[in-house]
Chains A and B, each alone.
Chain A
Amino acid sequence: MAEINVENLKVVYRGVILALQGVSLRAGRGEAIALLGPNGAGKSTLVRAMAGLLPQYDGRVLDGRIVLNGQEAHHLPALKVASLGLTAILEGRPIFRYLTVLENLRAAGHKLSPQRQKEITEEIFTRFPRLYERRFEQGGYLSGGEQQMLLLGMALLTEPRILVVDEPSLGLSPKLTEEVMQVLDALRRDKDLTLVLVEQNARAAFSIVERVYVMEQGRVVFEGTAQQAQADADVMEFYLGGAVAGGFSEAKRYRRRKRWV
């Protein structure tokens, strides 16, 4: 049974703006998949929908369904989704900036017993020694990479089965991006997580996922293994900017339309 099963999902914002136009996606237990595509393709909307956070953005599921671990989840509130074992790290590095590193971790691990919380916090500090050094500093003063590590640490403290990470590489140097990806991969293996990695930076994502979905204008336009995607010249050129992060020129956009619409 698939751990994540999204079927024909349609999402609107403010009742009118159709952000997802029938998206389907699956991920098996312990699988890592990537969700690729340019800005505005609907990736973050899908993350919000999976996390039950659409109401926070004045959005709602119009049609289709999300099944997490066998349970219908598309109409569940965020807290229920969280209790099903899905933790989403939203775009924009949403740490609590006025809380110290330790407080951020406490907030995330609030449901755990003090003992368990301590164990996991120690594990986090072993994985990310930088965080330990800066544990009394406010999250807002951490570097982008440190913030990303903190978010991963916080996610670990929720003891998820499914981890959805939105754009972890944003604003990070290639070296740091590489590091974050390695950490994600290690976490997935160690914790037996189902991982949904949402990225614009396709090359970074390819290194740690088995399968990829490419989105464009609220639709999935490609589905396949990482190897298939990398081998598909069209996908690489039109959607993934030649596997270079960001950068879609107007000319490419025009050609893309011509072919798909």
Chain B
Amino acid sequence: MKLTRRQVLKAGLAASTVYSPWMIARAQARPVKLAAILPLTGSFAFAGNAALEAFRDAADLINDRGGIGGRRFELVVEDDGYDVARGTAVFNRIVQRERPDELVFVYGNSTGLSKALAPEITRLQLPYTATSFSNELADPQTYPTIFVFGPTYNDMAGALLQQIRRQKGRGAKIFLCYSNSEFGRDPIPFIKEQSARLGFQIVGEEVTPLAIADATPIVTKLRQAQPDFVILQGYVLTVEPLLVRAAREQGIRATFMGTYYSAELALMQRAGAAADGFIVTYHNAYYYDATVPAVEQIRALRRSKGRDLSYRTTYYMGSWMAMDVIAEAMRRAHAAGNLTRPGMIQALDTLGDYNAGGQVRNLRWVNRRLPFTKLYRANVRDGRFDAMTDWVDGSKL
């Protein structure tokens, strides 16, 4: 038996190439590969590991169904610990090691890493997406091979501003609180600009580290500024629970809002009752949303493999969606006889109304991103986020 499994041990975690036994017997054709640079360790390990799990599940499904036109689908996974320097080194290693006719897609992570890799990705004409929704990446003129599989942070902020307009209208007072990082700063200029246009007032602005020990000084400022809305950006449920908790304790009644990375149930788990009413944007399906075909597909696969059927996070769902879309593009590129890097870009660009089992509205790119999202409100009693809206276009303000 030809053993194709390769194990890369990284920080105690096995990042391995996924393959299907079914393929070994059959495929002599070269595999088709997706490389994922994931934060399997470090502050974003929760997201990286959820993504890895989704990738493996999705890859199993793809290979169970015969791979991509008979070619085995393989994952090349490496850990970058959410560190740009390490991620860059890992990226270089991967592109040097892998054959261009096999490796047709790279999946990265942070805004920082994506920006650092962008020129090289462009030079290599390598199709790329990331778990970052930075506005700068959605720019096909500069980065013709980069896709943002969802709304940018600007779009998410736009959806929140729409909600503010509905809820309060002109004169709404907004307080911005964001982390001192690319991730945190990304939509801030957009929010300020649009707020001015929409007649909202930015009554306060707070920059913090990604994690803080105590939110009391921020709450003090909220007390002084008396905002109607507090928009949080650039955290991973490190600051949100602390802040809403402290704010509610001190009688602040403002509506708290966050974007994709705040939209996880752990918000309620960590903040408890204080999280109730927290509004977030989220653009995939929640695992408990049984009406979405993709959820049923995931559950069926996991059931068939004997895997844990309990709740999967939003990071899992988003990564599954990305894999679903990428696999579909691969199939179409293969059908067109052009399963290559340029072929992939063409296929992705023409996916049109494909909706990844209901996890996205459609795949009509606008500047290589999908500006649609939904708004959800935290419901602590049920321990869920309740949908407040159907798909909204965050870029339309």
Direct contact of A and B (CB under 8 A): no
Please list the residues of chain A having a beta carbon within 8 angstroms of any beta carbon in chain B.
none
